[in-house]
Chain A
């Protein structure tokens, strides 16, 4: 069709250019983060002597590694909640599923070094089982484990998502169902007969790929791997949300009927991002287990899934960098508070969530962006004070990093 152009204007229309994957500042911050993860952290931990103030303690490495796993979850949550508007309270399940797959492999790596010197994992000997259950068949192979880490959460999410989205379940109903699904899975994993170690789960890991797991080098290796995964997922997320696919997701969030009447079927879009999000959580769980050395059904508790949503909300939904910042802020506060005032942690978490919902609908990153915008406006309005404002915006830009 030739569009009717009455009152034709001869001037050509300037169409906005597609946004780059990352801006220049974004790439600088990204490379900086890459160097910190791959070079600075290992150097400070392994080569700087413990007496030096620059030394990065093993405790800090373990903590940061753990938080980076959480940050991956928050990022995954942002894709489904921030960008698509679907609040999942079941991401703890996908995290735990990835963790359990990894845990099964690590249990098999123990070999005959367990308490009972048996070929079978200790808990099976304890239950008087004579052979491996069928679902442990692939647990000896590292390659199969790598595949299952994404395949199991992905498949569970796909099947669940297909039926939920096909029935057009939305909003709070969807959240409640995901929560129920997680709870049901937790009860299932608590049982001894399902073959996942009951309420003790898996622990006492000895080796990974034949190498001892509790050495500083291995810990550092896992740390670097987690950091690289986080950065890689960040880029993947950026690529997804700045493609037309990402814009359709935001359109689904803002006006789903209009999306349908524009000829898009929302189901495959929701299902794709939901499954990708679940897979990312699975990977996070698999990286988490060897670092903390334990996985049990507690990871599937309701509170864990809700916490993931809190990280994303605190950092700032629909910003990608926000959830990562949120995961670091909240978990930093958690590890500090649970040491100094353990009884207040849950109150703090609840208060934080309420405060963010009421006062920071766009999270910390949203607040920074707004103040940056206001600073710019102020700078434009009042020229004399530019020096101070410039310094302010500069620091903000740094903090905002790759966003």
Chain B
């Protein structure tokens, strides 16, 4: 074999592999997801291109199958909307991911290495999963500022809390988030005095302070004015890419503004998946929404 043929061979092999190398990873992670990669404990391993992975999850409450063979996965940086009729298991699914409810069986992974079923709520929050509840849950007796300060990502042990002092970087971050949630003019106001929409925003602000990798948002725009809803959509779109978001909503126009991929849950399992137009055109989806 002549040297020019060998060079030509190397060039062709390189050209064939270039697209995969340029993308860094394929859908399944490509070479980056090889067995030789280093797994850092506590860090989310997204080499396989999935930050959240649920497989064949089952939960029943007194015989009622709230979650029935649920399979779902979310890519890093994805904004996924979840819709579904009442009782479809949307909130239960979030309970399972955040450690509040234990599934009867199934697999729930955060990245490729962290088995969420082995952790409790505070640990899961510390790993980087933030959650907003359906009913806005803030600390009503504390001020807006104190609410955000508590949520700040830092050591959360007893001793470090006793001697905790905000440093200037943390103060800047707090001020940033206060501006983002449009409460910068009233940081000293007790959270209990805020309007419903403002409480929703404060809770979202608390999530931002936690700096989570995955945000679970249960009906984030319920009770908001149109203006507030529009600003929330803007905020979520700006978070997309850097964070993964899972949004449960009933407000279809809101979903239309933010969504790329929509998952329809029904009776504890995935009924359909696709763009909003696709699922809205799906016969089965129309059936569960319009009655049977």
Contacts and interface: CB of A to CB of B under 8 A. Distances in A.
Interface string A213-239: 000000000000000000000000000
Contact of B210 (A244, A262, A269): A262
B187 A247 contact: no
Contact of B235 (A1, A6, A253): A6
Contacts of A53: none
B36 to A, nearest CB: 30
B176 A248 contact: no
Interface in B219-274: 231, 234-235, 238-239, 242-243
B125 A12 contact: no
B161 to A, nearest CB: 4
B56 to A, nearest CB: 26
Contact of B162 (A11, A240, A253, A261): A240
Given A15-B174, A244-B149, A250-B142, A264 B137 contact: no
B162 A245 contact: yes
A21 to B, nearest CB: 14
A94 B146 CA distance: 33
Contacts of B161: 243-245, 248, 269
B162 A13 contact: no
Contacts of A9: 179, 184
Interface in B104-130: 120-123, 125-126, 130
A210 interface: no
Contact of A268 (B157, B174, B180, B238): B157
Interface in A239-292: 240, 243-245, 247-248, 250-251, 253-255, 257-266, 268-269, 272
Find the residue from B125, B133, B188 having the highest chain A CB count within 10 A.
B125
Interface string B67-95: 00000000000000000000000000000
Contact of B140 (A254, A257, A269): A254
Contact of B142 (A8, A251, A272): A251
A258 B143 CA distance: 15
B131 interface: yes
B163 interface: yes
Q: Is the interface of B mostly helix, strand, loop or mixed?
A: helix
A243 B131 CA distance: 25
B173 interface: yes
A6 B210 CA distance: 19
A369 to B, nearest CB: 14
Contact of A244 (B153, B164, B234): B164
B145 A15 contact: yes
Nearest to B164: A244
Contacts of B184: 9, 11, 13
Contacts of B276: none
17 contacts: A4-B235, A9-B179, A243-B162, A245-B158, A247-B146, A247-B150, A254-B141, A260-B121, A260-B122, A261-B122, A261-B131, A263-B122, A263-B153, A264-B150, A265-B156, A269-B158, A269-B161
